[in-house]
Copies of this chain bind each other. A is one copy, B any other.
C-alpha cells in the first residue's frame, strides 16, 4: 500500500512525542562549492542516529492495542533493527530482530542494548525471511518490513515534511536510495507541499538497482551490491519502485570515491559526523551540478552511524 500525504501528516503527529525534530544546517562554503543553496536535514541527530527511527516508531504506534501486545519482528543488520528495538521500547512491547550471521558485533550490541531479542540466521535472503516469518507465526508479533511497510514509508516521509515546512520554497529535494523507504516517503511529503518540486535520489554506482530499474522500466532485483554505503545495499521494493515512478524521481549515481570525498567535506565544513550512506547526497549534487545550478535544494543526511576507528580516508 502506498501512503498518501495525509498519512505523512498523521505519522508526524504520531511520532512527535518520541522522535526528535532534527536541525536543518547550511554551509556557505559548501554552497559556494556546489553552486546552489543547500538546506541539509540532519537525521544523523535523530534517535538511534538515523532517520530509520521515524518509520519504525510510526509502525509501532500504528498497531492496535491488541496487535501491539504481541510485539514486533523484523530482519535487519543495520539501523532499522536498532530503530525498531527502541520504537518498541517507547511503547513497552517486545521486539525481535533477525540478524544475519556475521553482522557487525557493534550493531548487534546496539539492538540488544535497546532491549530487543536478537535471532541470528544464515546470511541469505531466504533464511532471513524464513526466520522472521517463523517468529511472527510463533509469537504473533507484527512483521515490520524495513522499507515496504506503508507505516514505515509514511514515517520516513516526516523528515522531508519537517524540512520543507522549515525552509519554505525549495526547487529540489534529494535523498539517498537503498530500499526506497526514505525516497518514497520523501516524495509523498514533498509533492504534497510543493507539487512543482523536483525529487532526486542519490545511489551508489555499486548498488544501482534503482537506476537500472528506471532505465529498463522494470524492477531489477539481481544486482550484487558492492559499495562502502552499508545502508544502501538493499534491493528496493515494488511499492518503492511504484512511488519513484509516480513522483518522477531521478536517480543520480555516484562512485564510492566521490562519496568518501563528500563525506570528508561534510565532516570538515559542517563539523558533523555522517555515514557514507548520507554523504551520497552531497556527492550527487557535486557530480551532477548542472542539475542543481542556482537552485534551492533540500538534502536529507540520513544518519551518522559510522565506525570512527575506520574512517574511509
Contacts of A93 in B (CB 8 A): none
Contacts of A270 in B (CB 8 A): 45
**Interface-facing stretch out of A137-145, A160-168, A177-185, A304-312:** A304-312
Contacts of A272 in B (CB 8 A): 271-273
Residue interface bits A281-313, CB-to-B below 8 A is 1, else 0: 000000000000000000000001000110101
B311:A271 contact, CB within 8 angstroms = no
A271:B273 contact, CB within 8 angstroms = yes
The answer to whether the Cβ of A225 comes within 8 Å of any Cβ in the partner chain is no
CA distance A44 to B25 in the complex (A): 13
Residue interface bits A146-173, CB-to-B below 8 A is 1, else 0: 0000000000000000000000000000
User: Among the listed B23, B44, B304, B309, which residue makes an inter-chain contact with A313, where contact means beta carbons less than 8 Å apart?
Assistant: B309
Contacts of A45 in B (CB 8 A): 25, 270-271
Q: How far is the CB of A10 from chain B (nearest CB, A)?
A: 26
Contacts of A267 in B (CB 8 A): 273, 308
Across the two chains, which residue of chain B brings its CB closest to A308?
A: B267
Q: How far is the CB of A267 from chain B (nearest CB, A)?
A: 5
B271:A308 contact, CB within 8 angstroms = no
Q: Report 6 cross-chain contacts, Cβ distance below 8 Å, ordered by A residue.
A: A23-B23, A44-B271, A45-B270, A45-B271, A264-B308, A268-B308
10 tightest A-B contacts by CB?
A271-B304, A271-B273, A44-B271, A267-B273, A267-B308, A272-B272, A45-B271, A23-B23, A271-B272, A273-B273
By a beta-carbon cutoff of 8 Å, the part of chain A in contact with chain B is: 23, 25, 44-45, 49, 264, 267-268, 270-274, 304, 308-309, 311, 313
